[in-house]
Structure 1
Amino acid sequence: MKVILFVDDENLIIRNLKNIFDDNMYEYVFKNSGVDALEYIKAHPVDLLCTDIIMPDMDGFQLLDYVKKHYPKIMRIALTDIGHPNLVRKLSLENLAQLHVFKPWNDTDLKANIIKIMKMQTALHTEEMMKMLQALDSLPTLPDIYETLVEMVSMDAPVDDIAALIEEDQSTASVILRVANSAYYGRKTGSIHQAVMNIGLNNLKSIIIANSVFEELTDDMGMLMDMWQHSTLVNKLVTAIYSECLKKPIPGIFASAGLLHDIGKVVLYHNYEDYRNIIDLASETGISINEYEKVLFGVTHQDLGAYLLNLWGLPFAYVESSMHHDKPMDHRIINKELVAVVHLANYYANCYRREEEYSADLKVYTFLKLEKDHVEKMLCDEFKWRIHDKANNNS
């Protein structure tokens, strides 16, 4: 039976958690300190850790950091007070927790979300996925510059030092400048320091990951460049839909979800010579590329991408955006708004590029309280597009 470990130094919170999780679906363990929790983890298997952040002796930051480094397969949730936004920022920048739950929480939502995370963990570690991973010649790993960047962020290093690190890597520096100077950031600069300030550290890390994966895995830049351009376009559209249609900024920690949503395609393309033919077949026949992947590999590029993003400890919303961007109304999704926006962005990016195998789920417009015509007018106004609209029969 899978094990969920809850940690909080307040007895009242622990009692509340015990009342919420009083079923036999999983094994629930409750501890009052980070030290006790760590002792338990060292002696017993744990699948998910849900911990308070502000605790005496060993606080939640220390506990999550240790677990991330030594037990990376354990899913991590942080319980934080809503009045401490800086704590959330620190947790996000250091990738210490895949999900943040704010106190006071809704008991029903908390339980539902934890169950969803556990089910996602099961979905990511299927027998088919394990066979796929064993069959791959190589998997991308996080680059040294990323690991150094995370360490510098955890030490509150000055932006000047972070910029100097990026300037040492010509490939990364050029991508950072290209992204910073793109239309959706709205500023032109040749300075890495200013680019880092404009982009933000969360986006910076995601851009480094995406660039390193494309750079590491490519022997044939043709289709890989197409995939990169598609991902960057999706990212632009995600930002535009938030700002121009939903009339609010995208949450900072999710601002590069579009950039990484298709990372599984890059890995499959690198490992299988025939993958180009699969992409072409999907375009020619109108049959979903996922159907071809499922038959040939047992898993889809969404599954593989979600596995990698989870392995790298990125926010759970990124994992969901990869896994579910083709089925955004799935009942298992926690970050429904973000996944729905990524779905639309992916659809319109495919429209722009005349890709025929992808269509929009019309329920997304209703869920987001958007009119389809309004979204497409925004695209015409902001990007000067003429929308190549396909027949949408999804309801």
Structure 2
Amino acid sequence: MKRRILFVDDEQAILRSLYRLFRERDYEINLAESGKEALEFLEQHEVDLVVSDMRMPSMSGHQLLLKVKEKYPDTMRLILSGYAQEQELFRSLLDGSSKMYLLKPWDNEMLLQIVDHIFKLQDLLRERRLLDRIESMDNLPTLPGIYRQLCTMLEEEADIKQIAGLINRDQAIAAKVLQLANSAFCSVKTGSAQQAVSFLGLSIVKNIVMASSIFDEKNGGKVQASIREILWRHSSMANRLLLTMSEELLHKKMPDDRASAGLLHDIGKVLLAKQFGARFAEVMLQSEQLGMPSLEALEREAFGVSHQELGAYLLNWWQLPYPIVEAALFSHDPLNAPVVHRELVCLTHLANYYSWKKVRPSSKAKLEEGVFAALGIAKEDCEILAKQLKDG
């Protein structure tokens, strides 16, 4: 069956352009000139992907996609906007109504490739083998309660003081927010959650709340706790490296919808440690001792699923932005995978490698040398940057 895409825009010329672009592809293309018309169509038809303009009369693209998220959560949702800095665009990423955004005017070939890759990723996450293995696990964690409260506050546009008050209710989460704020901004030292939220930004704080809830999962014995502590150190270091490499080497501020990719890219390992405890610790040790086969191959042999597949599935199930899901699934294969956000995936690959070298020198993390050329940066500069960052 053909995939069905619904394009929504109040400008007929835009809709005609999109129709002409996609009509020769193996998709069923439908058009709507308003949010109301789009919702009426969705009531009658199953749609795989909704691509909506942001600024429309009566109902904005953000308002439309919030309704789509509520009524049709399995439908992919993208914003097509001519305004990169629009506040409502930012809110659509924070509340998960939009998985990613594309900017007008678009490049035709790139837009076609992005849509193709989105569907390929969805196929990978819905592959029968992966679904069978995940369904056989005891349970997957639901979104932590404090995370859901934070998302509600963000949707209601609560101020930073209110958000800091929520974070301060959980000492473990508050400590991790402060830890990352103080380590990421070495020129600023703060003991205030409110200042930390201001420094880090709402997107990063939101994902710290989610990640720390999982890393601090109380179930399990000493082995799981030890692994979770190592993984937290690794993930927080990887996120610092990710942001620093982007700013210092690429001279770009990491966009909000992907600024927590380093923090979340290895969350599948935390879930495997929770599910399999000492057995997962044995697999990690075996990987370090042997080097080859890779950890991913050993995980599939032992558990039927790799940490990348499990992590990406969970992040996608939790409706996190598409770039973060991609980084979790493809950072170990950054050049060969069907990737939309190639730069982010390559940076996450480097952040993962150099973080393990600092946090656990015995790790046999693999480095794909081709990412340096893909990013246009020098290996020597990355190594200097990694050495300058302290663990902790």
After TM superposition, the score normalised by the length of structure 1 is 0.93
Whether the aligned pair in 2 keeps the contact of 1:283 and 1:356 (CA below 8 Å) is: yes
Secondary structure class of the residue paired with 2:217 = helix
Is 1:289 the counterpart of 2:295? The answer is yes
State the one-letter code of the partner of 1:254.
Answer: R
Whether the aligned pair in 2 keeps the contact of 1:217 and 1:267 (CA below 8 Å) is: no
Whether the aligned pair in 2 keeps the contact of 1:82 and 1:102 (CA below 8 Å) is: yes
- Tell me: CA distance 1:122–1:206, structure 2 relative to 1, closer, same or farther (3 Å): same
Measure how far apart 1:364 and its partner are: 0.4
Secondary structure class of the residue paired with 1:77 = strand
The corresponding residue for 2:285 is 280
- Tell me: CA distance 1:240–1:222, structure 2 relative to 1, closer, same or farther (3 Å): same
The corresponding residue for 1:45 is 46
Whether the aligned pair in 1 keeps the contact of 2:330 and 2:337 (CA below 8 Å) is: no
Measure how far apart 1:331 and its partner are: 4.7
Secondary structure class of the residue paired with 1:49 = strand
Is 1:315 the counterpart of 2:350? The answer is no
Secondary structure class of the residue paired with 1:50 = strand
1:287-366 equivalence runs, <5 A: 287-352=293-358, 353-366=360-373
Measure how far apart 1:38 and its partner are: 1.2
CA distances 1:359-395 after superposition (whole Å, capped 9, x unpaired): 2111101111111112212333x2379xxxxxxxxxx
State the one-letter code of the partner of 2:183.
Answer: S
1:38-77 equivalence runs, <5 A: 38-77=39-78
Whether the aligned pair in 2 keeps the contact of 1:217 and 1:270 (CA below 8 Å) is: no
Whether the aligned pair in 2 keeps the contact of 1:47 and 1:75 (CA below 8 Å) is: yes
The corresponding residue for 1:106 is 107
**Structure 2 CA distance for aligned equivalents of residues 172 and 356 of structure 1:** 28
The corresponding residue for 1:374 is 381
Measure how far apart 1:24 and its partner are: 4.8
**Structure 2 CA distance for aligned equivalents of residues 329 and 241 of structure 1:** 18
Measure how far apart 1:355 and its partner are: 3.6
Residue 258 (structure 1) aligned to one of 262, 277, 293: 262
**Structure 1 CA distance for aligned equivalents of residues 191 and 56 of structure 2:** 44
CA distances 1:73-117 after superposition (whole Å, capped 9, x unpaired): 111100111365323222222222111011111111111101110
**Structure 1 CA distance for aligned equivalents of residues 173 and 357 of structure 2:** 29
**Structure 2 CA distance for aligned equivalents of residues 304 and 97 of structure 1:** 22
After TM superposition, the score normalised by the length of structure 2 is 0.93
The corresponding residue for 1:390 is none
**Structure 2 CA distance for aligned equivalents of residues 347 and 282 of structure 1:** 15
CA distances 1:127-186 after superposition (whole Å, capped 9, x unpaired): 012112211112111112212212211222111111111122222222212222224453
Secondary structure class of the residue paired with 1:46 = coil
Secondary structure class of the residue paired with 1:23 = coil
Whether the aligned pair in 2 keeps the contact of 1:6 and 1:29 (CA below 8 Å) is: yes
- Tell me: CA distance 1:100–1:183, structure 2 relative to 1, closer, same or farther (3 Å): closer
**Gap regions ≥5 residues in structure 1:** 386-395
Whether the aligned pair in 1 keeps the contact of 2:268 and 2:307 (CA below 8 Å) is: yes
**Structure 1 CA distance for aligned equivalents of residues 368 and 29 of structure 2:** 38
Whether the aligned pair in 2 keeps the contact of 1:185 and 1:198 (CA below 8 Å) is: no
- Tell me: CA distance 1:84–1:200, structure 2 relative to 1, closer, same or farther (3 Å): closer
Corresponding residue pairs, total: 384
Measure how far apart 1:197 and its partner are: 0.7
Whether the aligned pair in 2 keeps the contact of 1:293 and 1:301 (CA below 8 Å) is: yes
The corresponding residue for 1:172 is 173
- Tell me: CA distance 1:71–1:359, structure 2 relative to 1, closer, same or farther (3 Å): same
Secondary structure class of the residue paired with 1:248 = coil
CA distances 1:34-66 after superposition (whole Å, capped 9, x unpaired): 112112222222111111111122221111111
- Tell me: CA distance 1:157–1:299, structure 2 relative to 1, closer, same or farther (3 Å): same
**Structure 1 CA distance for aligned equivalents of residues 31 and 390 of structure 2:** 56
**Structure 1 CA distance for aligned equivalents of residues 326 and 65 of structure 2:** 21
- Tell me: CA distance 1:186–1:73, structure 2 relative to 1, closer, same or farther (3 Å): farther
State the one-letter code of the partner of 1:276.
Answer: A
Measure how far apart 1:349 and its partner are: 1.4
Relative to structure 2, which stretch is displaced further, 23-32 or 303-312?
A: 23-32
State the one-letter code of the partner of 1:193.
Answer: Q
After the TM superposition, list the runs of 4 or more consecutive aligned residues in structure 1 that deviate by more than 4 angstroms.
none
**Structure 1 CA distance for aligned equivalents of residues 127 and 12 of structure 2:** 37
Whether the aligned pair in 2 keeps the contact of 1:80 and 1:87 (CA below 8 Å) is: no
State the one-letter code of the partner of 1:16.
Answer: S
Whether the aligned pair in 1 keeps the contact of 2:144 and 2:213 (CA below 8 Å) is: yes
Whether the aligned pair in 1 keeps the contact of 2:79 and 2:101 (CA below 8 Å) is: yes
**Structure 2 CA distance for aligned equivalents of residues 184 and 190 of structure 1:** 13
**Structure 2 CA distance for aligned equivalents of residues 257 and 267 of structure 1:** 17
1:195-206 equivalence runs, <5 A: 195-206=196-207
State the one-letter code of the partner of 1:383.
Answer: L
Measure how far apart 1:310 and its partner are: 1.1
Secondary structure class of the residue paired with 2:24 = coil
1:176-255 equivalence runs, <5 A: 176-184=177-185, 186-216=187-217, 218-219=219-220, 220-255=224-259
State the one-letter code of the partner of 2:144.
Answer: P
Secondary structure class of the residue paired with 1:182 = helix
Whether the aligned pair in 1 keeps the contact of 2:54 and 2:79 (CA below 8 Å) is: yes
